[in-house]
A and B are shown apart, each in its own frame.
Chain A
Amino acid sequence: MANNKKQIRIALRNCGFINPENIGDYIARSGYAALASVLGANNPQNSIDVIKKSGLRGRGGGGFPTGLKWEIASKNHADQKYVVCNADEGDPGAFMDRSILEGDPHSVLEAMAINGFCIGATKGLIYIRAEYPLAIERLLIAINQAEEISVLGNNIMNTGFDFNIELRYGAGAFVCGEETALIHSMEGGRGEPTFKPPFPAQEGYLKKPTNVNNVETFANIPAIILKGWEWFSSIGTEKSKGTKVFALAGKVNNVGLIEVPMGITLREVIYEIGNGIVNDKNFKAVQTGGPSGGCLTEKFLDTPIDYDNLIAAGSMMGSGGMIVMDEDDCMVSVAKFYLDFTVEESCGKCAPCRIGNKRLFELLEKITEGKGTMEDLDHLKNLSKVTKDTALCGLGQTSPNPVLSTIDNFWNEYLAHVVDKKCPAGQCKALKCYIIDTEQCIGCTVCARACPVGAIKGEKKTPHEISQEICIKCGACMEKCKFNAISIK
């Protein structure tokens, strides 16, 4: 196999090696040593500088410099501050955070305590979705064990520093991954975003300065503290340092959880680590960034993956979902799938997102049913832009991205649906046309008997014919035909 160590595991350094339910395993692999070193040095600003210089950026998708975020929170004075870990992972097909929490919960706890010491917070909260019962169970065991031996809790390792972590459960709303909505949900309110500023670092949980970071961001922290910012910033590209964990999924042979250095190309990820496309089909696109992201086509196969290049290519890093699509995937349907998701997950607070996304979805549905017009395509582009410009939070501002990016890269596919009333990938049911090849058909009547609506007519031992008006495109005839005489046009 050609996958010769393209991966570097930093955030996943302990995943799959230690027993996540045994703190001894973690300590043996230098666990809590980074916290000890930060507490021993007793210079929070210095530790923040290390994170700043490392170039670590938020791994939840936005890519905001982590050290800068910490510094802002540290400079806002208050009687109580909070550290929040965002474990509300919601992109379809993404499971990076779940794997880290299930495989190495202590790395996140340790990093939160380091963060607390740096910004002057003594309380940490992990906002985790209730659909992750095993991650919750292992986190609770980890917190318990850490408190028992005093590497967490009050007077950590006799240094006088207190840091207590509690869990807050989310009900699985996608919008609660947005930090202001997450904070409202933790406070017991509705999971709806509010306008920023004020940023959580100024006015967050219970109106106190709050630093919110994603699970994977936290998992990198102990490694940076112990191995130094120079080491971390030597990995990656100029503006994106370190590694990124991706959940590689879709039409690729080796689906899995991977951690690659920033700057790796899609080609290396798909063909070397992923071992190519299933059944040797042709690569069509890869979707990154989930419902907020876009599709990258063949021309981007050799583009180094980092925050800025992905945005320039019309997608985004996102939290790490990477879905590979082949020639059999219809890009209009892909856009429709993501819009369906956003319509379901929109909190409904602002009109552009609540109504705009619904209208976008309806337009896409119309196109996939073969009823779309050229005007609909103009309308689709226009409405996408308006929704992006006017929505309140990140969800609505990015939800049209799958539409815009597929329009940019696969305009011909949209045209085929609208003008020729054809789906080139053969996915859109309404546009499928089942045809009997008169050369191959021997008139065995099996298809006519299989057809549930009686759309197939023909005499025994003479070629049959499908009436397109009656056909409901169920495919039963094609499945039953023993002579490969039926095909989709």
Chain B
Amino acid sequence: MEKIKSLADLKKKREELQTSSQLLSQSESIQVRVAMATCSIASGAKQVLEVIVSECNKRSIPVSVTQTGCMGYCYAEPTVEVTKPGHEPVVFGYITPLKAEELVTKYFVGNEMLEGVIPVNYEKVEL
């Protein structure tokens, strides 16, 4: 990223970034976020991320996988948030590496829900 040279420049940069993330959400690719805090990694999130990436590659599914911090659902780690084009984000809990494959074959490809969906239980503050 280039240097931010003024306060107005930061605003411009923010708008650019927001536009590009909007474009990404309107594209055909599935957005995947894997919680990767210490606790998530300890329960296997790294392998889960690898499985999702390789399974999607195998099937040529357009996907964008990123890591994120703690989602707060310690009881259900590893947790993965999936946003399919035109769908609301869904958070899946208890995604072991084995279940990650199932997530790709069932939810990504088909539209079959898996068990362990975590309902949104908070209000998020937007700045």
Contact = CB atoms under 8 A, between A and B. Distances in A.
A151 B3 CA distance: 8
B40 to A, nearest CB: 9
B7 A9 contact: no
A18 B2 CA distance: 20
B68 interface: yes
Given A29-B127, A256-B73, A19 B68 contact: yes
B54 interface: no
Contact of B127 (A30, A95, A253, A273): A30
A102 B67 contact: no
Contacts of B124: 9, 13, 17
A27 interface: yes
A104 B35 CA distance: 12
Contacts of B71: 15-16
B14 A33 contact: yes
Contacts of A6: 121-122
A205 B67 CA distance: 36
Interface residues of A, number: 63
B17 to A, nearest CB: 4
B74 interface: yes
Interface in A245-280: 253-259, 273
B122 A149 contact: no
Contacts of B37: 98-99, 102-103, 134
Interface string B100-127: 0000000000000000000111111111
Nearest to A156: B4
B99 interface: no
B38 interface: yes
B120 A5 contact: yes
Interface string A4-32: 11111110111111111111110111111
A189 interface: no
A272 to B, nearest CB: 9
A95 B74 CA distance: 11
A159 interface: yes
Contacts of B125: 8-10, 13, 223, 227
A32 B35 CA distance: 24
B121 A227 contact: no
A36 interface: yes
A415 interface: no
Interface in B1-44: 1-7, 9-11, 13-14, 17-18, 21, 33, 35, 37-39, 41
A273 B121 contact: yes
A67 interface: no
Contacts of B62: none
A39 B8 CA distance: 12
Contacts of A135: 38
B72 A157 contact: no
A148 interface: yes
A258 B123 contact: no
A188 interface: no
Nearest to A11: B125
Given A149-B1, A158-B5, A257-B70, A3 B38 contact: no
A150 interface: yes
B123 A223 contact: no
B75 A254 contact: yes
Contacts of A25: 17
Given A99-B69, A103-B68, A16 B35 contact: yes
Given A7-B123, A30-B14, A102-B37, 19 more contacts: A1-B121, A3-B119, A4-B121, A9-B123, A13-B124, A17-B68, A18-B68, A27-B17, A29-B126, A32-B10, A39-B7, A98-B37, A103-B69, A149-B4, A150-B4, A151-B10, A157-B7, A222-B127, A258-B72
Interface of B: 1-7, 9-11, 13-14, 17-18, 21, 33, 35, 37-39, 41, 66-76, 81, 119-127
21 contacts: A5-B120, A5-B123, A8-B123, A9-B122, A13-B125, A14-B69, A15-B69, A15-B70, A16-B68, A22-B66, A28-B17, A32-B4, A36-B7, A95-B39, A102-B37, A102-B69, A134-B41, A149-B4, A151-B10, A256-B74, A257-B74
**Closest CB pairs A-B (n = 8):** A103-B69, A7-B122, A16-B71, A28-B17, A30-B127, A257-B72, A99-B70, A3-B121
